[in-house]
Amino acid sequence: MMLVLGLVSLLGSAVYNSYVAAFVGLGLTFWGALLLYLVPSKRVKLDLLTATSVSSFADIERILTSSDSTVKGVYLPPKLLKDYESSVVFVPATAETPLPKREEVDAEKLYSKKPRGIFLTPPGLALSRLFEKELKVSFTETDLKYLQKELPRLFEKLEISKDTSVTANDNTATVRIAKHIFIPLCNETAKLRRAHETLGSPFSSALACALAKATGKPIVIEKEETTQDQTTTIEYRTLED
């Protein structure tokens, strides 16, 4: 409307030789054209996101339930993948099953015969890519110190949480997030125990993807719990490949 009114005002200023109409027309035309190209970002309701995520999580639950494995999933580092920017979780058949080599990883296949196990797409892959997009960097180009510094800032910017900390000690990393917006989602996916214990929630999975890329090592989600004061603590362990 502003753009149309501005053009009409400019046309009127030319017909009636009015400087006032010309200035008004220029202002309306400028702001009308500017607002035309400013596309507002679309926000999805959290309950809709939760419902969608739980549905896909239920499929993972069925796959894991039909298998004999009770071992935690391993988030593979980029050097073991054909696509460095992707993320894959390998669920070994047994605790003694070795990690696959790069030529043995096939993200398009579900079951692996050598080594025996299952290849799954991390439930937090899309969220981890959103983090990379916001930071304008691939996690493969960063390290653990970068995540310790930038994740708290990013979560505050995205209004995920105002209180986040990332600590590391030897082969472990602990992430604490207070009152984050994904608590309802984590609570819902926690009801699917097999998938939750093997891959973590979509939120902890996204962070595992980031850690595997940044550290260049396989990552396992050891523990994820939320206290009554709504503080989520996620413990990760790095493996030697």
Number of structural domains in the chain: 2
- What are 94's two structure tokens? 């047994």
Stretch 95-121: mean pLDDT: 89
What's the mean per-residue pLDDT of the chain? 84
pLDDT at 67: 84
Pair (47, 21) in one structural domain: no
Same domain, 143 and 209: yes
Task: Name the H helices within the chain.
Answer: 2-16, 19-37, 46-66, 125-135, 144-157, 183-189, 193-199, 202-215
Question: How far, rounded to the nearest angstrom, does the alpha carbon of residue 82 sit from its chain's CA centroid?
Answer: 20
Per the CB < 8 A criterion, the answer to whether 220 and 237 are in contact is: yes
Give the tens place of pLDDT for each residue, 178-210.
999 889 888 888 999 999 999 999 999 999 999
Residues 148 and 212 in one domain: yes
| 19 and 104 in a common domain | no
Provide the pLDDT confidence category of residue 135 given band limits of 50, 70 and 90: very high
Q: How confident is the model over 3-39, as pLDDT tens digits?
A: 666 666 656 666 666 655 555 555 556 556 655 554 4
Mean pLDDT score, 223-229? 92
Q: Are residues 32 and 141 in the same domain?
A: no
For residue 217, which phi and psi values (nearest 5 degrees)? -130, 155
Share of the chain above pLDDT 90, in %: 54
Q: State the Cα–Cα distance between residues 196 and 202, nearest whole angstrom.
A: 9
Residue-range definition of the domain harbouring residue 11 = 2-37
User: Are 208 and 97 within one domain?
Assistant: yes
